[in-house]
Amino acid sequence: MNPATAFARVLVDELVRGGVTDAVLAPGSRSAPVALALADAETAGRLRLHVRIDERTAAFLALGLAKASGRPVPVLTTSGTATAHLHAAVLEAHESGVPLLALTADRPPELRATGANQTIDQVGLYGGAVRWALDVGVPEPGREAAQNRYWRSVVAKALLVARGSLSDDPGPVHLNLALREPLMPDDSGTGQQPALPSGDLAGRPDGAPWAVSAEDGVRTATLTGGAPAGRTLLVAGDAPSAIGRAAAVVADQRGWPVLAEPSSGAWGASGALRGSALLLGAADWLAAHRPDRVVVVGRPTLSRPVNALLGDPAVTVETYGPTPRWADPGRGSTVVGSARLDPGLALRDPGPQAGGEWSAQWAQAARQVGAAVDAELDAPTGGLTAARLARDLVAALPAGALLVLGSSTPVRDVDRVAVPRLGLTVLANRGVAGIDGTISTAVGAALAHQGAGGGPAFALMGDLTFLHDLTGLLPGAGEPRPDLTVVVPDNDGGGIFAQLEPGRPQYAASYRRVFGTPHGRDLVAVARSLGWAATPVSDPAQLVAALGAGGPRVVVVRTDAAAEAALATRVRAAAVTALG
């Protein structure tokens, strides 16, 4: 067989032996050998292949699969600008610690810097956003034994690094695959189990130079910081769900209140309080109930009041990250530790449960704030606002469901007003918090969730986020379609800006064009044109019926940006009033 085919079959064989169960590709010529090897592996039942026409969509689909499953997922592209379209997902995987494998086909060295078609400088393309990058040597004829050993070692290392098996720092890896023609197989073609090239390590079950376990393992939290210092609060930011859950167990054992972001894994756990941003935004109440110490697990990204608390010089901040890179935006952490593998270490010496009465006061305050929020959301003139949509959606989801939250307003609405609950898996792209690729992320996460026996999947995202990734609605003929319902509050533009500084009256002259960016599209018609069932919803009863109809489906709720901004102001004021 020709060298490119031999290389591709060994690469895919080693990926599968290393635990890869899903792979994603966008079509291309230079990547054909690897694409065909992946298709053969799917035919043989060794992995599940997902094909997308858009490289950016493919990358975010792979991100969602990897985020939900915890396993490395490769995404394959052809050469040239196709490789650049992976960059946004690579950046998100970098900041979120997601094991994404970028496999980029490339021209061989003799065609680089010559003006050859579809050729750019792909070496080091993603810079410091990857844990490891390698320009894999061109497959050569007549060197099967040495090349088999090299190819398998490259794949084994890529999987180890992507998982963070040695560094405890999972993340993206880039393998740049230079391939010479011929690119199509010259043997009997594709089949159930195509032949591997002869030579040392060819398909041997113990062939990899480094042992790569197919077991992903469960990363859970170990908090090994100092002894409790007075009144302690746990802030759980975006993190792998197992870490957040274990951190919540630590907090429950030690009697700490928990302020948890929806994608933290601690949201819904015992002690997790509703409306954390509203609680912290009540200045007088907070002054009387300020913690002496805040333990941070994961990466909090949603709330200015949380960031203000972490930047308060009167508060001792201890930060525990799931990787060696920790979040410390206020640069005020006095202790930095690891959220590692053994949760038992955190509980061997839990220390005194300081501040029991104080913790009860936090819980009571959260109940008061929740009642005030519900009164505003349920006001007869309120209708199905975006904020109420966030609350009602979370409450209506069945146990075992997956919820993917888009960046911008939806994730913040859930954080502020929804009631934390058990039985849901909540994910969000909070590493870089972009709105790009959210539909594709949700599709990938849903496929992984349901492939593991999970329940239906739902996504909540704004209208611009939805429009930004319409190609995520185009899986292609024969591709699996998950039971996914995408819920879109449509305020005809960038509604979050109406709640921020750009929405102030002095900026009104330029607001609509520069920040509001109205699109004027009927999103129900847009979704239907792309082959999805779509349902317009205007009241809570319709929402419940639409959520129960099953996916793939898009549910659109028309809202008004100015009214949402006014409601947000009333909700904050109601929270302050409720706390007296």
474 lies in the same domain as 445: yes
**Three-state DSSP class for residue 571:** helix
Q: What is the per-residue pLDDT for 190?
A: 46
* Prior bond of 170 cis (ω within 30°): no
Same domain for 18 and 132, yes or no, is yes
Task: Kindly state whether residue 212 falls inside one of the protein's structural domains.
Answer: no
**Domain count within the chain:** 3
Residue 89 pLDDT: 97
> Which residue shows structure tokens 């990250």?
321
Residue 216 pLDDT grade (very low, low, confident, very high; cuts 50, 70, 90): very low
DSSP state of 488: E
> What are the beta bridge partners of residue 485?
458, 553
Residue 189, in any domain of the structure: no
Residue 394 lies in a domain: yes
DSSP conformational letter for 507: G
Question: In whole angstroms, what is the distance from residue 534 CA to residue 528 CA?
Answer: 6
Final residue of a structural domain among 178, 213, 242 = 178
Same domain assignment for residues 525 and 395: yes
Tokens of 534: 């779509």
406 and 309 within one domain: no
Residue 218 has pLDDT above 50, yes or no: no
Same-domain check for residues 382 and 356: no
pLDDT (tens digit, 9 = 90+) per residue, 27-53? Answer: 888 899 999 999 999 999 999 999 998
Predicted structure pTM score: 0.85
Taking the C-alpha atoms of residue 521 and residue 524, their distance in angstroms, rounded to an integer, is 9
**Residue 301, CA distances (Å) to 335, 354, 431, 464 in order:** 20, 28, 9, 20
The pLDDT confidence band at residue 193, using thresholds 50, 70 and 90, is low
404 and 447 within one domain = yes
**The residue type at 77:** T
3-state secondary structure of 365: helix
Q: Can you tell me the mean pLDDT for 300-326?
A: 87
Q: What is the 3-state secondary structure (H, E, C) of 18-39?
A: CCCCEEEECCCCCCHHHHHHHH
pLDDT reading at 398 higher than 80: yes
The residue from 332, 360, 388 where one domain ends is 360
Mean pLDDT of 563-579: 94
Q: Is the residue at 200 inside a domain?
A: no
On whether both 431 and 339 belong to a single domain, the answer is no
Q: What is the pLDDT of residue 353?
A: 53
Confidence of residue 221 (pLDDT cuts 50, 70, 90): very low
Is residue 26 assigned to a domain?
Answer: yes
Residue 477 has pLDDT above 70, yes or no: yes
The pLDDT, as a whole number, for residue 264 is 94
Residue ranges of E strands in 356-497: 402-405, 425-428, 457-460, 484-490
Q: Looking at the structure, tell me whether residues 413 and 503 fall in a common domain.
A: yes
What is the reported pLDDT for 202?
A: 52
Q: Answer yes or no: is pLDDT of 200 > 70.
A: no
User: How large is the C-alpha radius of gyration of the chain?
Assistant: 25
Instruction: For residues 85-110, give the mean pLDDT.
Output: 95
- What percent helix, strand, coil does the chain show, rounded to 5? 40, 15, 45
Residue at 195 is within a domain: no
What mean pLDDT value characterizes the chain?
Answer: 87
Same domain, 310 and 173: no
Residue 456: pLDDT above 80? yes
What is the CATH number for 299?
3.40.50.1220
Instruction: Kindly state whether residues 324 and 414 are assigned to the same domain.
Output: no
Contact 310, 191 (CB under 8 A): no
Averaged pLDDT, 388-393: 97
CA 261: distance to chain centroid?
13
Q: Which two tokens stand for residue 398?
A: 């069945």
Q: Which residue has the higher pLDDT, 459 or 501?
A: 459
pLDDT value of residue 63: 97
313 Cβ neighbours under 8 A, 6+ residues apart? 332
For the CA atoms of 324, 325, 326, 328, what is the dihedral angle to 10 degrees? 140
Looking at the structure, tell me whether residues 24 and 145 fall in a common domain.
yes
pLDDT at 296 over 60: yes
Domain that holds residue 105: 3-178
On the question of pLDDT at 125 being above 80, the answer is: yes
* Assigned domain for 193 exists: no
By mean pLDDT, which of 179-188, 228-237, 323-332 is the weakest? 323-332
For residue 478, the domain's CATH number is: 3.40.50.970
Which comes out higher in pLDDT, residue 392 or 432?
Answer: 392
Structure confidence at residue 229 as a pLDDT band (50, 70, 90): low
Residue 544 predicted with pLDDT over 60: yes
Shared-domain flag, residues 309 and 450 = no
Percent of the chain past pLDDT 70, that is, above it, reads 90
Residue finishing a domain among 313, 329, 360? 360
Tens digit of each residue's pLDDT (9 = 90 or more) over 357-380: 899 999 999 999 999 999 999 998
Q: Which residue has the higher pLDDT, 336 or 268?
A: 268
Confirm if 539 and 526 have CB atoms less than 8 A apart: no
- CA dist list (Å): 303 to 6, 233, 500, 502, 532: 52, 16, 13, 18, 34
- Look at residue 194 and tell me if it is in a domain: no
